[in-house]
Structures are given as structure tokens and as C-alpha cells.
């Protein structure tokens, strides 16, 4: 039988496990004693310096400039080796300072001071100071890729006379501003890389992280070596990282990635394949004995069907409601051994931001009545395209959805599309319905720019509001939640958003997805890293992990 090693959860149940995972980094990814070799007593219980590790990522990127290159969970894991993020998510669902020391807001949240740690440098010797942070934030603010996340920012300046303080000025109250820095737009890049020619900047990253970039052959491997002068140390005063070298191998094909892990060619892999996740998490699962599991218990993705409300048949709300009423989420989840919690919005029930959205139970007769009403105004057959990612999992799920929708007499064409084309069509609105996993982030405000009506373009234009739907109530609630000073005020505002979505159906929420980090017995410490102040970091965040405190046995 496999050994399932679950990472520390969010707030629920935290007290029971916190004692087993003290601030000492000598614990392994299970939060208890180090394991390896089937529990061999000879395995050290303290981290061992040296050795190398091979990590199989789910995908590749076009480059390593966070302002211009799109990163998924694989590239973000790679980026965490040579870049430090300004902040990260804690296990309590709160934003925790990481590279930066603290945030100080004004009373009305229209101004935020970012306080930096002293005496930090990038790998090339440049200082991590107010000048470099201002330069990074200005780049993020003006980049076409990240500008939407910084729309309220009107000014970014170094505070005069203080090399360790940056002041960000906003045109509105923004109580959750640090959450905007938890994703790709929070990594700090050396000015030398920012000033390089675009092609060179993307090919040679320079950061302040635990590993220094060595080489990269796209679609083959990336090698990073230990940075001996990294600024963080463990509780015993040993300087991170422990590993000498990390090699990342992009392996998009799920079967190939799992086979390489089991053969030992890869030490660690990431996966969100529903079939693989179900195999490892289901009680009936029969998986390799020497493969351990680190489970993502953060606010990860939600699998949903996004509906195009701007053009095509689903611009009519009656059809969207019919699909809502005929889609049996429990039946879909049961195809994966029931390991995924059913979703009624982008937050799980363990989140402080969850509230009952009023999502209806399946009702075939009511759905058929809505279709008949639609066809009375729009005679003729109803045809929809359902776009899925080109993968066995994507095709399987599309077929399951098509079977349910066909009960309404709707002709569903499943379009299996590779990732780049999928993203382009999603952004351009070239779909009727698409199956996607999205909306990770412990604070809903991190997704503001995907939900606001301000980011809905005309038909055919690029837009971040994928279903191209909003209304005055949703926009007002999103702004209120952003500006509100208390948690209850924010929760009440988001409750309005969830209820409006349930009523008008721009999304069909299916389940809360899971990422897993699978690793061999020789790997330890994947969940041991804390912030410099000792706060517990969520070990897996959107399928990505830190390798700063990871160590290996056996070289």
C-alpha cells in the first residue's frame, strides 16, 4: 500500500499537527520524522547538505522574465529556486512577508509602505533595496501581462532618505493589496536582468533565491546550483539551501512523467491529473510503495465550465440555466472515486470567504422547460462547442459533460485543443463553453482582475474576464470587498458575488481540484520551509513548491 503523506492543512486541524512540525527544519514532508528507504532507521533525522535532485514539471515556459513570460505551476516552482517572492501564502490563509520584511498601510488603505530587509543582494552582487523593488513594481505595473493586477496603483516611489522603504500610492482603498503580490507578479528580479535585451533577459534569470541559474535548454532541462551566500538559514544556523544542484525536466505527458518517477529517473513530480490524483487519494488506491504524496490543501484551482455569455447560444441566460440544472456535479465527481469536493464557487468551505451561493440541485424537467422556452424564440437545433485541453483527462471529462448535456437534445461538439491555442481562444472569446481549472488564491481579491466588468472587451478582443460577464451588483461588491476594512464586510460583499454567479451562471462550478507533489523516499523536507519570522508556509501553492529546505539521502 502507498504511504500518503499529507501537508499541513489550512486553519482547520492546524493545532493538532503544529506540534509535530516545529520551527526546526529537521522534519520531513510528512510533518514528522524523516522517512526514507521504507522507514529504515539508518536514515538521518537531520537535514544533510549536498546531493542533487531531478524534478519533473508539468510544463515549460517561454522564458524567465516574470513581467513578460507566462508561468504555470511548473515554471513557478523553477522560479522559486533563483528568484525570491516578496510574499507567500501562510497555512492560515494569510499573506506572509518573505523577501520583504513588512507592509504598513495608511489608515484608509490608499497608501502602502513596503519595508525591506537589510543587506540582501542578488546573485550578481546588486542590492535588493528600495531602488530595485521600485524598478520591479514599475515593470509589473506597465507590462501588458501583469498591468491588470496593478490598475489601482498610481505611484511607486522610494521613500526619501530610506533605502529600505518603498511607498505605493493607490487611487482607491485596497485593504488586501499584498495579495496582488502572491503570484507571478511578486517575484523580484535583479536590475541587470530587467535592463537586458528582452531575448537575453528571458534566457538568463538573475535573482536573490537559494539557487543560482546555471543552464537552460528549453523543453529539455534547466539546471540550478546552490547559491552559497543565500540570506536565509535554518533554526540551527545552517545556511539554506541544502542541495548542491537541482535539475528540472519539463514532462508534459502525464504517463511519461509517472513512469519516470517510478523508474527513478525523476525524484519529484507535480500532477493535477484527475485520474492520477484519484489513484493516490482514493481509499481503494493501489500505488507504488516507495512514492510519497504531498497534497495541496491550499485554496487551489476549481474545475469549472466557463460559458461565453457575450456571443453564441449561451449569451441567452435561459440556456445557461438549463445547463446548470442538467449538470450533475456529484455524478461527475464519482467518476474519480469521489476524492474531489463539489464546488459552488471559487472558494472551498474551509475558507473564511466561503458562503452558500444557493446553487440549485439538478432538475432535468426544469432544464428541458428552459430549453423549450429558448427554442420557441430561436427555432431549430441547438449546437454548442465544448473546448477541452488536449489530454486524455480533458477528453474524458468533456465526454462525461457531453453525456449529461445531450439529455436536453443539445448537439455538443467536443474540441480538444493544445494548451497555447486553448489560452488564446479563452482570452479571445472563441468558444461556447470550455473546461478549465483556475481561480487559485486564498484571498479572492487576487482574482479581482479576472472578475471585474472593467476587463470585458468587445467580441473577439482579448479579455481577462473569460465568460465576459458581470453586472453592477458584482462590480460594486468586488470594489467593496477590496476597500473594506473588516473581514465580515469583505465576506458579505463576496457572498453577493457568489450568489450572482449562481443566479446568472457565467460558470458551471464542478469541483475543487487537487495538485499533488509525488516524491521518492530519498527526498525530504519539501514542507519544512518557514518565513524568516517563523510563519508556516503553505507547502504546495497552485502545484508549486519551494525547494529551499529540501534535502536528499543517497547522494
pLDDT in tens, 334-354: 999 999 999 999 999 999 999
Q: Say what percent of the chain tops pLDDT 70.
A: 92
Angle at alpha carbon of residue 345, lines to 344 and 347, rounded to 5°: 115
Q: CATH 3.90.76.10 occupies which residues in the chain?
A: 86-193
In contact, 525 and 25? CB cutoff 8 Å: yes
Find the helix or strand (DSSP H, E) in which 34 lies. Answer: none
Give the pLDDT band (50/70/90) at residue 39: very low
Residue 217 is predicted with a pLDDT of 97
Question: Across the strands, what pairs with 181?
Answer: none
SS3 383: strand
What is the mean pLDDT of the segment spanning 86-106?
96
pLDDT exceeds 60 at position 388 = yes
Q: Which fold has domain 3-66+70-80+199-299+515-552?
A: D-Maltodextrin-Binding Protein; domain 2 (3.40.190)
In contact, 398 and 435? CB cutoff 8 Å: yes
Q: CATH 3.10.105.10 occupies which residues in the chain?
A: 302-512
SS3 112: strand
| Bond preceding residue 380 cis, omega within 30 of 0 | no
Q: CATH 3.40.190.10 occupies which residues in the chain?
A: 3-66+70-80+199-299+515-552
- For CA atoms 530, 531, 534, 535, the dihedral sign is negative
Q: Which residue has the cell 532507521?
A: 41
Give the pLDDT band (50/70/90) at residue 440: confident
Q: How far apart are CA 190 and CA 511, in angstroms?
A: 39
Residue 42 is predicted with a pLDDT of 64
What is the mean pLDDT of the segment spanning 146-166?
95
In contact, 297 and 7? CB cutoff 8 Å: yes
Q: How far apart are CA 111 and CA 97, in angstroms?
A: 17
Angle between the N-to-C axes of helices 392-405 and 274-281, in degrees from 0 to 180, rounded to the nearest 10: 100
311 DSSP assignment: S
Q: How far apart are CA 71 and CA 64, in angstroms?
A: 9
pTM for this predicted structure: 0.88
Residue 38 is predicted with a pLDDT of 41
Residue 284 is predicted with a pLDDT of 67
Find the helix or strand (DSSP H, E) in which 438 lies. Answer: strand 433-438
CATH of 86-193, one of 1.20.120.550, 3.90.76.10, 3.30.930.10, 3.40.30.10: 3.90.76.10
What is the mean pLDDT of the segment spanning 109-117?
97
pLDDT exceeds 50 at position 548 = yes
Could you tell me where the beta strands, DSSP code E, fall in 484-537?
507-512, 516-520, 523-524
Query: 302-512 — its CATH code?
Result: 3.10.105.10
pLDDT exceeds 60 at position 82 = yes
pLDDT exceeds 90 at position 378 = yes
Residue 7 is predicted with a pLDDT of 33
Amino acid at each position: 500500500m502507498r504511504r500518503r503523506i499529507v501537508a499541513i492543512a489550512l486553519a482547520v486541524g492546524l493545532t493538532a499537527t503544529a506540534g509535530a512540525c516545529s520551527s526546526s527544519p529537521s522534519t520531513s514532508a510528512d510533518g514528522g520524522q524523516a522517512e526514507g528507504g521504507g522507514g529504515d532507521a539508518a536514515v538521518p533525522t537531520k537535514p544533510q547538505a549536498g546531493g542533487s535532485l531531478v524534478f519533473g514539471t508539468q510544463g515549460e515556459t517561454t522564458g524567465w522574465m516574470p513581467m513578460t513570460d507566462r508561468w504555470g505551476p511548473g515554471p513557478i516552482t523553477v522560479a522559486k529556486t533563483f528568484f525570491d517572492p516578496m510574499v507567500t501564502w501562510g497555512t492560515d490563509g494569510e499573506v506572509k512577508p518573505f523577501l520583504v520584511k513588512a507592509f504598513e498601510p495608511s489608515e484608509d488603505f490608499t497608501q502602502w509602505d513596503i519595508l525591506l530587509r537589510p543587506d540582501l543582494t542578488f546573485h550578481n552582487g546588486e542590492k535588493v533595496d528600495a531602488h530595485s523593488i521600485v524598478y520591479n513594481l514599475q515593470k509589473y505595473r506597465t507590462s501588458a501581462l501583469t498591468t491588470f493586477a496593478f490598475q489601482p496603483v498610481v505611484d511607486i516611489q522610494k521613500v526619501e532618505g530610506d533605502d529600505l522603504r518603498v511607498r505605493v500610492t493607490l487611487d482607491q482603498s485596497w485593504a488586501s493589496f499584498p495579495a496582488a503580490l502572491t503570484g507571478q507578479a511578486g517575484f523580484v528580479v535583479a536590475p541587470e536582468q530587467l535592463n537586458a535585451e528582452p531575448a537575453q533577459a528571458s534566457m538568463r534569470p538573475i535573482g536573490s533565491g537559494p539557487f543560482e541559474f546555471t543552464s537552460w535548454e528549453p523543453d529539455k532541462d534547466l539546471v540550478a546550483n546552490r547559491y552559497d551566500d543565500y540570506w536565509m538559514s535554518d533554526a540551527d544556523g545552517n545556511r539554506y539551501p541544502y542541495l548542491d544542484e537541482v535539475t528540472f525536466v519539463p514532462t508534459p505527458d502525464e504517463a511519461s512523467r509517472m513512469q519516470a518517477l517510478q523508474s527513478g529517473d525523476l525524484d519529484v513530480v507535480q500532477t493535477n491529473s484527475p485520474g492520477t490524483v484519484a489513484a493516490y487519494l482514493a481509499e481503494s488506491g493501489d500505488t507504488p510503495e516507495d512514492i510519497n504524496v504531498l497534497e495541496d490543501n491550499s485554496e487551489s484551482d476549481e474545475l469549472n465550465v466557463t460559458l461565453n455569455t457575450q456571443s453564441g447560444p449561451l449569451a441567452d441566460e435561459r440556456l445557461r440555466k438549463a445547463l446548470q440544472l442538467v449538470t450533475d456535479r456529484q455524478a461527475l465527481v464519482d467518476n474519480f472515486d469521489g476524492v474531489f469536493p463539489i464546488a459552488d464557487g471559487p472558494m472551498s468551505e474551509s475558507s473564511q470567504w466561503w458562503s452558500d451561493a444557493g446553487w440549485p440541485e439538478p432538475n432535468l424537467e426544469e432544464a428541458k422547460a428552459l430549453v423549450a422556452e429558448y427554442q420557441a424564440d430561436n427555432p431549430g437545433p441547438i449546437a454548442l462547442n465544448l473546448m477541452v485541453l488536449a489530454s486524455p483527462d480533458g477528453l474524458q471529462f468533456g465526454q462525461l459533460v457531453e453525456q449529461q448535456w445531450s439529455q436536453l437534445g443539445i448537439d455538443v461538439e467536443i474540441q480538444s485543443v493544445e494548451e497555447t491555442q486553448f489560452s488564446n481562444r479563452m482570452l479571445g472569446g472563441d468558444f461556447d463553453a470550455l473546461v478549465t481549472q483556475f481561480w487559485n488564491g486564498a484571498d479572492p481579491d487576487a482574482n479581482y482582475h479576472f472578475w471585474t466588468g472593467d476587463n470585458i472587451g468587445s467580441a473577439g478582443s482579448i479579455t481577462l474576464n473569460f465568460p465576459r460577464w458581470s453586472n453592477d451588483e458584482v462590480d460594486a461588491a468586488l470594489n467593496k470587498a477590496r476597500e473594506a476594512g473588516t473581514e465580515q464586510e469583505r465576506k458579505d460583499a463576496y457572498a453577493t458575488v457568489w450568489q450572482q454567479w449562481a443566479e446568472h451562471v457565467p460558470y458551471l462550478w464542478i469541483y475543487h481540484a487537487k495538485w499533488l507533489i509525488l516524491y521518492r523516499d530519498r527526498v525530504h523536507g519539501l514542507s519544512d520551509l518557514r518565513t524568516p519570522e517563523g510563519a508556516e508556509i503553505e507547502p504546495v501553492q497552485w502545484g508549486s513548491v519551494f525547494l529551499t529546505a529540501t534535502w536528499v539521502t543517497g547522494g
